Chain A
């Protein structure tokens, strides 16, 4: 996941490298996601979140749709 100056920079970078454009969104959403995704990493009994748990976090941020479906993992 990379941070670009603006969306036209995403388009140009993808085009020059032949990388299909994925999902582009604002930092505010990413900050919300980042706060929830790793919140248990300093717990002693940490275990990897299940697919359902991770999906719920994405859903709660509003990251929905086929691009954000984890269950094909």
Chain B
């Protein structure tokens, strides 16, 4: 990949998609150095792009005070209580049960999301097979009203 981008906007769009593809393929977020090398740009340019993607485009959530990727919804770049297993043996972390299922939906793959009941610790496995929910047990709880979801996305 070469640095032939016409504008910051073009660069940001390319980097955003590259990050998503990396997460989809590897289950982990790329480092700033990975991005810099792939786009043949300097690390400060990567930092600037990541900050624009987070602040201007709402495309990423960064670890506060850093340019490290925390979330690229529905993916989490850090371990969570929502482990997603693809039927093709890929593994991801979801930010919540919604995002865990969102990963399987986005990638169009069968698989499962494993978590535990926050109340009693009982393990719960949600299985998607042939594109449909299988033998689903469990109740989803949204504590935060939709109007406030993005005020503190980490809590939501």
The reply to whether the CB of B143 lies closer than 8 angstroms to some CB of chain A is yes
* Complex Cα spacing A72 to B149, Å: 10
Interface band, chain B? 35 or more
Q: Flag if B146 contacts A58 (CB, 8 Å).
A: yes
Q: Secondary structure of the A side of the interface?
A: mixed
Q: Flag if A20 contacts B17 (CB, 8 Å).
A: no
* Complex Cα spacing A43 to B20, Å: 10
Which residues of chain A are near B16, meaning CB under 8 Å?
46
Our count of residue pairs bridging A and B at CB distance below 8 angstroms stands at 163
- Using A10-B139, A70-B146 as known contacts, say yes or no to A5 and B97 having CB atoms under 8 A apart: no
Interface band, chain A? 35 or more
* Complex Cα spacing A20 to B141, Å: 11
Q: Flag if A22 contacts B136 (CB, 8 Å).
A: no
Which residues of chain B are near A34, meaning CB under 8 Å?
74, 98-99, 101-102, 104-105
A 32-48 binary contact with B (CB < 8 Å = 1; else 0): 01111111011111111
A 1-45 binary contact with B (CB < 8 Å = 1; else 0): 111111101101110000111111111111101111111011111
